[in-house]
Amino acid sequence: MGIDIGRTNLRAALVSAEGEVLASVRERTDVSGGPRAVEEQAAAAFERVGGRDACAIGVGIAGQCDVTRGVVLRGPNLFWPDVPFRDRLAGRLNMPVTLRNDVVMATVGEWRLGAGRGCQNMVAVFVGTGIGGGAIVDGRLLEGASGCGGHFGHISVQLDGPRCGCGRKGCVEAYASGLGLATRARSDPALPSSSLSRAGIDGAAVSQAVEENDALALRLRDEAAAALSSALGSVINCLEPRLVVLGGVVMDMPGLYERCARGALDSCLPSHRSVAIVRSSLGDLSGAIGAASMALDPL
Ligand SMILES: [Zn+2]
């Protein structure tokens, strides 16, 4: 079974060993309730998808994880203190739990069962409420020293750019994530003449305004595409993947994917331009499916 705990949505899926989704649920993450409330949600989702039939649980969570200790670390996503989430959930559900960052799990999902199947060198970048990703290098998941590798959202693309949630300036997340787009829209002098001024602003609202050809939204999309292209070019230059998989709800914004795919190729080294850039194929459930797949590894 896989549970994908994002900052906005929690998704859970019961998955066969072949990667077929047998049952799934999706609901808003109770972020304001803190670790206890999210643990309750995960346990309830476990029961609703028939988790008693599973042999192990994989959990992907929007935050930095110490993989060895199974601890979600204090960070700019959920604002939890260090929480031993793996052992708490394993004790409660009486089942082994594997814990990773949510987009690391989504990367594994796309690699083993989605758009990256069979690829030995690939990078996946997911643009949602935040931006994250993961890398497969020479056939192995890049984890980093403690399992915190792959935070591509905090690649700075402008030294004096807008302040990011991590405290640094000019991170691509501050330009192109759902939160970043909303923050930039709210502080833009052109807001009063934009259709965005009429309702609550989030990534989905900016996407809707792009659909309506709103001038401010189109400009924010183009700036997001430029920032993502620059960051993707840097990642491609560092890791030389064969394949880049782009996913996340913000990537569904009209015209964004095409601009990023073209822009990434324009901004990477000429020797790396044979890289293929594709959309994710598992959609909304890539994180839960990847988490379920990774739960089997220790067994
Ligand atoms: Zn940052």
> What digits encode the pLDDT tens for the residues 112-169?
999 999 999 999 999 998 999 999 999 999 988 888 888 899 999 999 999 998 899 9
- Confidence at 250, pLDDT banded by 50, 70, 90: very high
pLDDT value at residue 256: 98
> Is 117-281 in the same CATH topology as 2-107+284-295?
yes
Average pLDDT, the chain: 94
Expressed in angstroms and rounded, the spacing between residue 155 Cα and the centre of ligand 1 is 7
Q: What angle do CA 141, 145, 151 make, to 5 degrees?
A: 65
pLDDT value at residue 36: 94
Expressed in angstroms and rounded, the spacing between residue 166 Cα and the centre of ligand 1 is 4
Query: Is the full-model pTM beyond 0.95?
Result: no
Give me the phi and psi of 247, to 5 degrees please: -145, -170
117-281: CATH number: 3.30.420.40
Nearest to 291, CA basis, from 143, 112, 28: 112
Compute the distance between CA of residue 124 and CA of residue 128 in angstroms, rounded to an integer.
Answer: 13
Expressed in angstroms and rounded, the spacing between residue 212 Cα and the centre of ligand 1 is 30
Expressed in angstroms and rounded, the spacing between residue 198 Cα and the centre of ligand 1 is 29
Expressed in angstroms and rounded, the spacing between residue 51 Cα and the centre of ligand 1 is 35
**pLDDT tens, position by position, 111-128:** 999 999 999 999 999 999
Expressed in angstroms and rounded, the spacing between residue 168 Cα and the centre of ligand 1 is 5
CB 139, CB 149: distance < 8 Å: no
Expressed in angstroms and rounded, the spacing between residue 18 Cα and the centre of ligand 1 is 36
CATH class for domain 2-107+284-295?
alpha beta
Give me the phi and psi of 278, to 5 degrees please: -135, 165
Expressed in angstroms and rounded, the spacing between residue 230 Cα and the centre of ligand 1 is 15
Percent of the chain topping pLDDT 70: 100
Expressed in angstroms and rounded, the spacing between residue 173 Cα and the centre of ligand 1 is 6
| Domain boundaries along the sequence of the chain | 2-107+284-295, 117-281
